[in-house]
Amino acid sequence: MPTVHVRLSQRVPETLAPELMKRLFFAASSIEEFQLFTEDGSVVGVELTLNSADSAGVAEKIDRVVAEQVLTQRPLAPRSVWESPVVRSEFTDAFPELLAQDTVVVSGEGQVGFAEPLISLFGYLDRRLRAIALSLEGAREYQYPTLLPTSVLDRFGYFGSFPQFPMFVTRLHNDIDVYADFVERYREEQRVPDDLFAHCSNTDYCLPPTMCYHSFHQYQGRELAGGSVITARGKSFRYESRYHTSLERLWDFTIREIVFMGTPEFAAECRNSVMRQTFALMEELELAGGCEVANDHFFANADTAGKILSQRMMELKFEPLLPVAADRSIAVGSFNLHGHFFGESFDIKGPDGGPVASGCVGFGLERLGHAFLSQHGSDPARWPTAVAQEIG
Amino acid sequence: MPTVHVRLSQRVPETLAPELMKRLFFAASSIEEFQLFTEDGSVVGVELTLNSADSAGVAEKIDRVVAEQVLTQRPLAPRSVWESPVVRSEFTDAFPELLAQDTVVVSGEGQVGFAEPLISLFGYLDRRLRAIALSLEGAREYQYPTLLPTSVLDRFGYFGSFPQFPMFVTRLHNDIDVYADFVERYREEQRVPDDLFAHCSNTDYCLPPTMCYHSFHQYQGRELAGGSVITARGKSFRYESRYHTSLERLWDFTIREIVFMGTPEFAAECRNSVMRQTFALMEELELAGGCEVANDHFFANADTAGKILSQRMMELKFEPLLPVAADRSIAVGSFNLHGHFFGESFDIKGPDGGPVASGCVGFGLERLGHAFLSQHGSDPARWPTAVAQEIG
């Protein structure tokens, strides 16, 4: 595959390099690999490995990403709200060993299966987080289906803010002639034909990019008498392009979710309670890490920079970040307040008759497990006693 | 919506009426409801509620279903291999009550969420079935991702036999220009545009219609030294058209799966052991029911009738059927032998160097739970003591 060096039309300050790196694979599907080049504290070029010959077209797309999605951002100083007393200088990349033992199995892009002791470890972490959820007043647990109506995400304009993540579900159009035509084509070609979508007509369902949308959908059009808390564990899906790696950034992953709805004070208290209890759990699990103000990865348009800035200024989103290597941490969840956004979008009324305020907390169980393995290794005998006892 | 009476071109013997009913909603998406009309022991017509005016086109499609998929079948006398000593004459339709309590939540077609005590009940049933799986020699548990590569189903021609069931997963084509065009359209229309697929290009993944395909994919190209047993719990998906109802025929459901690979004798022994232990479990759970020879619901083509006949004659598939009403039972799982079919399709070699023989057992947890609720009611205080104690 050709390697080409592309010079950026505008220089990118190194402080914004992570923002550029996060977006490059979404710029064009022909980018197989990339490496940034810097001069005098600025990114000035990108070396690309391409699966197509159109390097000029790709260069133009990258310039647009830089202009619209990177340089529009205002870097803010990190603000930390928790720092684990645990300090760690050694990390394990357990993945190759787990692969060799068939303890993890890669079945597709960003799709990983796993066996014991990981099933028990992830189950243990989930039980602890579930207990935090159920400590909140009136909490109720649900198990939701996987499919989510597309109309649920349409209600609050999800696809306009995050067109890069969602996965849509379709099927052959329900008609004996369509089935028969398709089967004939399929038998001729011995594979699903490239024009599959010509036989499909349904776009009613998609896969949930996160779990809390199931809860807002469930409560749509209702009036809540007081504060409500819902917790759920389930599968979520995000197209992560070529960013998938080990258990860190799966396309197909498991979230333990906690949603709270009520007055703004109730939502804030719930979030703060979950944060306090989570930090205590991390310390009990002897995990190094911290928690910082964060923002969502909106797809750029005219108001993106403003959205990100106000989200950060109002501290609506915090992320617990756990180191997985000497120079790298990953977010294992997020603690969010939504104001009245979802109450308005889903017509959910609160105790005062107006749209309910809400917040949610989600933990990526595979990511949390991955950080745990990176810090404690894959041998259960070396895990903190409380964990080892429970899953022994 | 118009109601029309369609006279069939060929009479269908009443013994084949269930086969016709199973297929009618797949004949044309315009059929909203139907009712069969019989004369002298034969189905002679269908009353249809249609969401379109093309009743002649629909009549023609139904005639084709009758000719190709129904009259080609040879009804065989049922053969029972187990009959529960538990006899039951009263049944509960717990669903309306569970809905009223928010214990179940309908979120889409064939998509149902649930709260306690159902989460614990389904979890208990799963633990008992998992223990049966782990009683088999060398059994190993896996948790698989949800997404399944389309190529896995292509390997053994799934889409040619069951084009009506699968759901495909796609996403916007990964390119900043596609995202930007889509977002512009989306903002104009305030909803996902009808021509969504014009912005999508990926057909690499689908949703698994059952769990065992993950296991065959995992072992693809390997050589097994001895008998292997894998068990997994996970989400499976089948488009059930308008047949979805309560927890009985979900589009999106949970399977506890057991796959065994080895010599044909090993596969048969595993299947028989799981069947014996399952029947004992059903009796311990005080469930009425039986188990019969069954067949897969192949989409009709020239060789369908032969496939079904040979599957039934060789007794490759048994289904445990539990009554949910005085006049109706549902299959809550299946016990299958595959011969060398998957060993050949996935190039998995057995201890003798040839393609491995395989079999699998799958339980639909929501269906099993639904049968349990229909027979025992929704009040945990009235459930068999062993269950009530475990989840109290």
Of the partner residues B118, B191, B207, the one whose CB lies closest to the CB of residue A154: B191
* Nearest chain A residue (CA) to B196: A203
Q: Determine the pLDDT at residue A293.
A: 93
The pLDDT-based confidence of A330 (bands split at 50, 70, 90) is: very high
Domain extents in chain B: 3-70, 80-164+209-391, 168-199
> Does residue A144 have a pLDDT over 90?
yes
Q: How far apart are CA B207 and CA A205, in angstroms?
A: 12
The pLDDT-based confidence of B304 (bands split at 50, 70, 90) is: confident
Measured between beta carbons, the chain B residues lying within 8 angstroms of A108 are 145, 147-149, 204-205
The pLDDT-based confidence of B47 (bands split at 50, 70, 90) is: very high
> Does residue B301 have a pLDDT over 80?
no
Give tens-digit pLDDT for B195-228. 999 999 899 999 999 999 999 999 999 999 999 9
CB atoms within 10 A of CB B38: 14
* Nearest chain A residue (CA) to B214: A107
Q: How far apart are CA A181 and CA A162, in angstroms?
A: 36
Phi, psi of A84 (to 5 degrees): -65, 140
**Element containing residue A284 per DSSP (H, E):** helix A264-284
Q: Determine the pLDDT at residue B300.
A: 64
Q: Determine the pLDDT at residue B392.
A: 58
Q: How far apart are CA B340 and CA B108, in angstroms?
A: 38
How far is C-alpha B298 from the geometric centre of its chain's CA atoms?
A: 12
Cβ contact (<8 Å) for B147 and A108? yes
Give Dmax (Cα) for chain A: 66
Measured between beta carbons, the chain B residues lying within 8 angstroms of A239 are 171, 174
Please give, rounded to a whole number of angstroms, the shortest distance from the CA of A271 to a CA of chain B.
Answer: 22
* ipTM reported for the complex, 2 dp: 0.94
Q: Determine the pLDDT at residue B386.
A: 84
Give tens-digit pLDDT for A170-223. 999 999 999 999 999 999 998 999 999 999 989 999 999 999 999 999 999 999
Of the partner residues A115, A141, A151, the one whose CB lies closest to the CB of residue B141: A115
Cβ–Cβ contact A77 with B under 8 A: no
Cβ contact (<8 Å) for A174 and B113? no
> Does residue B388 have a pLDDT over 90?
no
Of the partner residues B159, B170, B174, the one whose CB lies closest to the CB of residue A29: B174
CATH number of A80-164+209-391: 3.30.930.10
> Does residue B313 have a pLDDT over 70?
yes
Mean pLDDT for chain A overall: 93
Strand, coil or helix: A56: helix
CA dihedral sign of residues B229, B235, B238, B244: positive
* Residues composing chain A: 392
Cβ–Cβ contact B90 with A under 8 A: no
- The one-letter amino acid at B67: A
Give tens-digit pLDDT for B362-387. 999 999 999 999 999 999 999 999 89
A295: which 2 tokens? 């923002």
Cβ contact (<8 Å) for B26 and A218? no
Mean pLDDT for chain B overall: 93
Do the Cβ atoms of B317 and B336 come closer than 8 Å? Answer: yes
Of the partner residues B105, B150, B186, the one whose CB lies closest to the CB of residue A159: B186
Cβ–Cβ contact B250 with A under 8 A: yes
- Cα angle value B93/B99/B105 (rounded, 5°): 125
Q: How far apart are CA A208 and CA B356, in angstroms?
A: 37
Cβ–Cβ contact B195 with A under 8 A: no
Among A51, A171, A297, most B C-beta atoms within 10 A, so best to mutate, is A171
Cβ-Cβ contacts under 8 Å for A190 (sequence gap 6 or more): B154, B157
Measured between beta carbons, the chain B residues lying within 8 angstroms of A238 are none
Give tens-digit pLDDT for A92-130. 999 999 999 999 999 999 999 999 999 999 999 999 999
Q: Determine the pLDDT at residue A286.
A: 97
A-facing residues of B in 104-143 (CB < 8 A) are: 105, 107-109, 111-116, 118-119, 122, 140-143
* Nearest chain B residue (CA) to A154: B191
The pLDDT-based confidence of B143 (bands split at 50, 70, 90) is: very high
Measured between beta carbons, the chain A residues lying within 8 angstroms of B139 are none
* Nearest chain A residue (CA) to B301: A180
Place of tokens 């009613």: A204
Q: How far apart are CA B115 and CA B122, in angstroms?
A: 11
**Where is pLDDT greater, at A308 or B42?**
B42
* Residues composing chain B: 392
Cβ contact (<8 Å) for A145 and B200? no
Q: Taking the CA of residue B230 as centre, how many other CA atoms within 13 Å lie in the half-sphere pointing to its CB?
A: 26
Do the Cβ atoms of B333 and B371 come closer than 8 Å? Answer: no
Q: Determine the pLDDT at residue A392.
A: 58
> Does residue A305 have a pLDDT over 80?
no
Q: Determine the pLDDT at residue A390.
A: 81
Q: Determine the pLDDT at residue A78.
A: 84
> Does residue B354 have a pLDDT over 70?
yes
Nearest Cα to Cα of residue A228 among A254, A258, A184, A250: A258
**Element containing residue A261 per DSSP (H, E):** strand A252-262
Q: Determine the pLDDT at residue A300.
A: 64
CA dihedral sign of residues B21, B24, B26, B30: negative
